[in-house]
Structure formats: structure tokens, C-alpha cells
Amino acid sequence: MRYSGFRLIKEALNGHRGWGPAWRDAQPKPEYDYIIVGGGGHGLATAYYLAKQYGQSRIAVLEKGWIGGGNVGRNTTIVRSNYMLDENEPFYEFSLKLWEGLEQDLNYNAMMSQRGIINLMHSDAQRDAYIRRGNAMILNGADAQLLDQKQVLELYPFLNVNNARFPVMGGLLQPRAGTARHDAVAWGYARAADQRGVDIIQNCEVTGFRFDNGTCLGVETTRGYIGAKKVGVCVAGSSSKVMSYAGMRLPIESHVLQAFVTEGLKPILPGVITFGEGHFYCSQSDKGGLVFGGNIDGYNSYAQRGNLPMVEEVMQEAMAMFPMLGRARVLRMWGGIMDMSMDGSPIIDKTHINGLYFNGGWCYGGFKATPASGFAYAHLLTTDTPHHTATSFSFDRFETGHMIDEKGMGNQPNLH
Ligand SMILES: Cc1cc2nc3c(=O)[nH]c(=O)nc-3n(C[C@H](O)[C@H](O)[C@H](O)COP(=O)(O)OP(=O)(O)OC[C@H]3O[C@@H](n4cnc5c(N)ncnc54)[C@H](O)[C@@H]3O)c2cc1C
């Protein structure tokens, strides 16, 4: 069934009795050509592009919980391509271009809203850094504008630009950036993949791999053994755990990241805005809630909930940037498990085991990467070669020292 305005009117006149489930409740088959482990945004996008772009069939996505229960449904929904390094920027710009056509492609309203992102600058040195970043973005085909203080005030008139602890000198704007409704992205990919014959199997945890002579034959699951010609692991915060079943130790640590939402307010934020003197980012949802977050909690954990010291730090940064936020009540907060890599950049690569592939290390930036990650992973799974935008996201960079250290923090995953 295609979704459309016409269909909505027809169903409304019919008492909404004609809507079917968005995807089938598929039962596991004994064998597939491709098994994707993890039904988050990246796993579902991979399955979709395997079927749509690369013409593959006999594909299953195995999800231990439910679709949308992982980070894809827990993030702060920011979509952007304002990266600086040549290894990253073409990939994230490719992703943003896919986002721009995603709703038509999936026939699903993912509430993609290109309302722009501003990174505020508070010092001369930061202005220099943002000019460099903006130029790198433009050279890679993305959009970037340097705003002075007056231009920032035109968009955010309530900012205290001069008499604040950290005066605002201007900002780097990416107008094409914005937000998308996170769980609708998961549902949209799930529905579109299902329509192309992909089996989406929920409540099916992968508990091990079966190998023969250096080749992966399939996966052990809580619903029995399932064979596959190729297995693509895509489990974000559970990466280290799942790959340990294959005897691999990854250059990845798991950390918690929290998000917060206030009560609904009248429109105050036209786009996404970030604080330049710390790590705080905020946007306003279509329901009016301010959606915001900051740094990861900073200790290793697989728990999907955070701790109070980071709540305090995030609120301090919020108050430093918008003192008026102190009047708003926080309604909800939650945590997700981040797969923090040693250099802050992802891995999309083959492993040393034939037929076993890995996608992870997205840190807290993987939502925006969802379309390109799925596309590039589908390319790798089908052709055994990296997609041209993802050639640097390999395991061996940690051996050869070719780090992609966008933040310049060194090999400290808790600081990326
Ligand atoms: C609070 C928060 C805010 C964030 N904000 C942003 C943002 O603004 N912008 C941005 O770009 N990114 C953001 N991120 C990061 C982004 O959400 C993640 O990088 C991205 O969603 C990870 O990919 P995924 O969607 O595939 O992960 P997930 O949705 O976590 O998918 C992985 C799936 O694997 C499943 N799984 C795990 N183990 C197994 C197993 N053994 N067998 C089967 N299935 C298994 C899990 O249940 C899960 O559903 C944020 C993350 C959090 C938590």
C-alpha cells in the first residue's frame, strides 16, 4: 500500500479500516543470502539498499528487541554534514543528499526539516577554525555560511551576545542541515525494506556465529540457527559484545549518551543551535519541546540510562547559552549506548573472517549517517569493495596510524 493524501482521505471516509501493518511479522527461514544483525537505522537502511540499489534478495534483519528501540529512536535527531576532514565530509554530504530525497524514496513522512544548524563562536581562534571548516565543507560540495554577530541575532534575537560569560561573536551556519523524526526513519526504512521482500525479524537476538575453516556460515540466535552466505553486523552500542562472539576485540568502547526534552513551548528556536564553549546542542520539536543534549557520561556501560553528574553539566551549559531555559521544565530524559571508536570516526569494513562484515563506531553522530552508512554497507556486502565515500573507514587505520580524528582528541574515545 502506498501512502498518499488521496489514501488518507479515502481511509478517513472509510473509518480507517483499510490500513495494513507497516511491515510483516516475518518468521526466520533456515537460510538467507544476507543476514543483517541489528534492526537499528543502519541495519534497516543496509537491507533496504541491498534490495533496492544492489538488486539483492533473500535478506533478513535480525533484531534482538523491537524496531526503533535502540539509538535510532533515542537520538536528538540532528542531521548535518558540517565535517572538516576529507575522509569524513564527502560521506556525510552524500548522506545529507540521500536525506533530501528520503521521504519520496521511502514513501514515508520522516519529518525531514532542513531548518539549519548554527555553531556559535565565542573567540577569534574559534572564528578561524570555523572559517577553515566552512571552506572545507564548500570544497566538498556542501553549504556553509559564516555569520557575524548581527546575523546571528537576526535568527536568535534573545541571545545575550555581549554581556554573557561567553560572548557570541558569530556562528557557522549550514542552512541545509536540520532534523528528522528519528523513529519514523526506522519505521520508514523497515516498511520500505519489507516491501522489497526483506524479512524483519524482531525478538531474535544473535548469540553467536557458526564458522568453518575461517568462513562464517551463519548465526546462532534465540530462535535457532540461521545460515547465511554473508553476515553484516550493525549493532551500534553492542558492537564489542557481538563481535566478541567472533573472537574479535574492537577499537571501540561503549558509553552512555543522554537526551532531554522540555515541556512544549511556543516556537523560539528556528533551527538547531550549538554552544561553542562546551558541548551543548538544542532544537525545538514540532510539538514545541526543546530537545537537547551534551557530552557522553564518560564511563563504559551497556545500560540505556545515564547518571546525574552529566545532567548537571548539560543544564549548566544550557543556562550559560540561554538563561531563559531555567524557566522551562524538563519532561523526559533517556540514554542510549554509543559505540565510541578510538578516533571518533566509524568503521565499515570486512573482517578477517570470510563472509563476516562489520559496521559501527558511530559515536554520537550516527543518526545523520544512516542513509549513507546503509548505502555504503550494502555496497561493501555486495561487491566486497568499499563505497567511494567510505574508503577510509577501515579497521587497518588503527594499525597503520591513519586516524580520522575530526575532533583532534587523540585515541581517547570518551573525548570524541
Ligand atoms: C541520546 C542520543 C543522542 C544522539 N543524537 C544524535 C544526533 O543528534 N545526530 C546524530 O547524527 N546522531 C545522534 N546520536 C547517535 C545515533 O543515534 C547513533 O549513532 C545511531 O543511531 C546508531 O546506529 P543505529 O541506528 O543502527 O543504532 P541502534 O538503533 O542502536 O541499532 C542497533 C540495534 O542492534 C540491536 N542489537 C544489539 N545486539 C544485538 C544482537 N545480539 N542481536 C540482534 N540485535 C542486536 C539493538 O537492539 C539495536 O536495535 C545520538 C545517540 C543518542 C543515544
Compute, in angstroms, the gap from residue 74 CA to the centroid of ligand 1.
Answer: 7
pTM value is 0.97
Give the confidence band of 236 by pLDDT, cuts at 50, 70, 90: very high
What is the structure's pLDDT at 164?
A: 87
pLDDT of the residue at 1? 83
- How close is the Cα of 236 to the center of ligand 1, in Å? 5
Residue 82, pLDDT > 90, answer yes
Q: pLDDT tens digits for 397-413?
A: 999 999 999 999 888 89
Model confidence at 120, pLDDT cuts 50, 70, 90, reads very high
Quick check: 353 pLDDT over 90? yes
What pLDDT is stored for residue 338 in this prediction?
96
Q: What's the pLDDT at 23? A: 97
Look up residue 298 and give its three cell numbers: 564518560
% of the chain exceeding 70 in pLDDT = 100
Tell me how far the alpha carbon of residue 33 lies from the centroid of ligand 1, in angstroms: 24
The residue whose CA is least distant from atom 37 of ligand 1 is 235
d(CA 92, CA 161): 31
Ligand 1 site-directed mutation target among 220, 279, 364, 370, most atoms within 8 Å of CB: 364
Report the pLDDT averaged over residues 241-253. Answer: 97
Stretch 298-314: mean pLDDT: 93
Cα–Cα distance measured from residue 179 to residue 285, given in angstroms and rounded to the nearest whole number: 9
Give tens-digit pLDDT for 167-220.
999 999 999 999 999 999 999 999 999 999 999 999 999 999 999 999 999 999
Looking at the CA of residue 338, tell me the nearest atom of ligand 1. Answer: 53
- In this structure, are residues 219 and 23 in contact, taking their beta carbons and an 8 Å threshold? no
Say how far apart CA 257 and CA 12 lie, in whole Å: 40
Which atom of ligand 1 lies at the shortest distance from residue 368's CA? 11
Spacing, Cα 197 to ligand 1 middle (Å): 24
Q: Does residue 416 register a pLDDT over 90?
A: no
The one-character DSSP state at 259 is: E
Find where cell 541545509 sits.
Answer: 176
Question: Who lines ligand 1 at CB under 6 A?
Answer: 37-43, 62-65, 69-72, 74-78, 205-206, 234-238, 242, 257-259, 293, 336, 362, 364-368
